[in-house]
Amino acid sequence: MPWRVGPAQRRDGQQPDPYKIWLSEVMLQQTTVAAVKAYFLRFISLWPTVTALAAAKDGDVMAAWAGLGYYARARNLLKCARAVVTDHHGVFPTSREALLSLPGIGPYTASAIASIAFDQPETVVDGNVERVMARLYDIHTPLPSAKPELTRQATGLTPNKRPGDYAQAVMDLGATLCTPRSPACGVCPWHSPCVARRNGTQAQLPKKTPKKPKPIRYGIAYIARRADGAYLLERRPDKGLLGGMLGWPGSDWRSDWSDAPIERAPFVAEWTTIATEARHTFTHFHLRLLVKTALVPNGCQTACGSFLPAKDFRRSDLPTVMRKAFDLTQSP
């Protein structure tokens, strides 16, 4: 992983960069390592230091984040970088308590930075660690209720010596051997002390409280293209879902088609409805969008958003759901 510094590198004098650790941990929240690597490398290329990131334009950072999801993280990324520069002279604080005072840094991220970047003996508990602890101690309390118990067990194992290496090792153990399905118990370094393995319950753990079915919301997206190729886009409000991102003008997202989305076309035009819906799943609901398109003359005026010239339009700058809507307009 490009943000890591292993024991051998440490012996050669290389130390973890707290900026890279922080950036990777924010990106990895509810996202896979495979999905994050390319984004991480791009961010480091564009903004190699926290000072550089703090000076970046909001729109540039949101565009670079597009497709990674959970866009509040990108907004908090900028707030945190600017707080580090303004309040801490561009240097990340070393203690968990001080890290918690920064925007967007919660208990897990603070512990991870303190442990991995500064070798503080803080307990780092992500989903992989929860699974390892549940099996190691044969804990059958379902998640999320089991979190305090799992954290207590993890705290009891956290060493004072090389806690950062230990934290990463346990996370890797969960990611590579103590996997959700078919854990590789035969080659696990904790094979002997694992209580669930001895009791034959490892495949059942961790137990989870059943999730409620996700509701469905419905909406309309309007994709207008001028004769010169410019697209009508608007930047969503900073607060709320997809906050600060570019997107297509559209209706509110309603809970039922019987409570039909209100037509909010940006202007009067010959709007054509695409037969296929754009569908996307967010954390708490599924979204189904009707996509309406229109070709308009160059002099078209609108109070909703602005036309982006064709040379400046990049599909990659859009969040995933907006890309899906756009892709429907490109289908034959």
Using alpha carbons only, what angle is made at residue 159 by residues 154 and 205, rounded to the nearest 5 degrees? 20
Numbers of helices and strands, H then E, in the chain: 13, 7
Asked if 235 and 246 count as a contact pair (C-beta separation under 8 A), the reply is yes
Give the 3-state secondary structure of residue 99. Answer: helix
Q: Per the residue annotation, which of 25, 122, 130, 277 is the catalytic one? A: 25
Axis crossing angle, helix 72-88 with helix 18-28, rounded to the nearest 10: 160
Asked if 95 and 120 count as a contact pair (C-beta separation under 8 A), the reply is yes
* Cα distance between residue 260 and residue 57, in whole Å: 37
* Cα distance between residue 27 and residue 4, in whole Å: 14
Asked if 135 and 129 count as a contact pair (C-beta separation under 8 A), the reply is no
Asked if 197 and 191 count as a contact pair (C-beta separation under 8 A), the reply is yes
Is 122 an active-site residue? no
- Residues identified as active-site: 25
